[in-house]
Structures are given as structure tokens and as C-alpha cells.
Structure 1
């Protein structure tokens, strides 16, 4: 059972458990951990502007004074899971988050899906690269 909207951080654990129950894990633990960290950071960069320089291919020209849509101080990821997205080299990070926008309106239960593709380097290592949002 999901907590009511507006429950605050106290409801985050229930949301996380509901996501994990509804969408069973299907990635190796290391990949899931890497994707979750990247997904959280990418969402934070998109919503608040903090950290956009880490992904110049996702945020080209982000240094041009673009005002962030959400307050950094009042932004949090409530829950997240990383799962395969059709093929072994594709994954989706499903995030539920809360934040206060520029109009000072707070809302929780916002949903964002971020897609990643696994790429291999010439040395045999691989990494997950975010895909452009459509």
C-alpha cells in the first residue's frame, strides 16, 4: 500500500518497497548500483541544474544561465529502481521524486524514467551512458 501524497520522507520507504515488489530486479547488482547513482545524479542535474557539467552531451550549452526548475534544497528522490529495458545493453532507471518548483509549489510522487545504453571501451570495460530524453 502506498502512503498518501504529502506524507513526506516518512513515506519514501513504502514507495521503494512497492517499486521493488512490482518490478523485480533483473540486473547484476553492480550494474544496478551504477545505474541508480547515475540516474539520481542525472535527475538532480536536470531538475535543479546542479551537476549538469557532468553530462555535456545531455545538457549542451547548460552554462548559459538557464534557471533551474526546482530548488536544490527542496528536492529529493523518494524511490528508484534500475531494470533492463528490452535488450541486455539497455536499462531504465525509474525514479519517484519530490520537489519545490520556482513558483514555490511543492509536490511529491513525480515520476521520471531515464534510459541508459551500455557501451564498451577498447580496453574491455563497459559503462552506462544516458540517452537523450524524447
Structure 2
């Protein structure tokens, strides 16, 4: 769940829900996991389309797991019924020791269907 109830309430009030609850839950789970992998390096192998060189990482992750937390998150429809954005607000301490909260990351997903199974696939950042 969200790390900061006030931030979560503000996000939900500013951007009303517009996805089926099952899609929203799937997207939130994927978005949180993907952001954690991006920030801490943990779990990058789960997302080979986003982190193609996860096993050959030359640079240490920017944030330590113990110094990273997601404060709030919502998933909403993007430009079509088959695209969505997961909006995350998070806090972390970087390798240099600077702690910053209220960081914002938007992750884009596209709904795909293969062999009758529908999934949300993260899109590369531009």
C-alpha cells in the first residue's frame, strides 16, 4: 500500500480512477516492482525488455534498498483503452547520501493479448 496516506489521497482526488479494479491492481503491482528494480537494481532480470543488460550491470544502482520507499501510487488510463500510466511518488537516499522525497516517476504500459491472455507490458522510457 501507499507509504504516505495524505499523498495517496491527493493523487486519487486529482486523478479519479478510470480503469477496472483488476487492471489497476495489476498495473500498480508491476509499476512498484519495476520502479524498485530501476532504482535499486533488485529484480531487473524480471524485466528484460526494460533492462536488457541486467546481468552485465557496470554501474551500481542509484539507491540502496533500505533507503527507498514508495510514498503513493495510482494507475490510470493513458491515451487509449490499451495504454496506461502508473504514477508513483517515492523517496530515496542516493549513493551520495542525499535524501529526497516526493520524487515522481511515470511508467507507461500497453495492454497486449497473446493466446487469449491479456497482460500489461511496460514501455521503454524515451
**Inter-partner Cα distance in structure 2 for 1:61 and 1:86:** 30
Instruction: Give TM-score, length-normalised by structure 1.
Output: 0.90
Q: Which residue of 2 is the match for residue 52 of structure 1?
A: 44
Q: Which structure is richer in relative contact order (CA contacts within 8 A, separation 6 or more)?
A: 2
Larger radius of gyration: 1
Q: Which residue of 1 is the match for residue 92 of structure 2?
A: 99
In the alignment, structure 2 segments of 5+ residues that lack a partner are none
The equivalent position to 1:108 in structure 2, one of 87, 101, 107, is: 101
Query: How far is 1:70 from its partner?
Result: 0.5
**Displaced runs of 4+ in structure 1, greater than 6 A?**
none
Matched length: 123
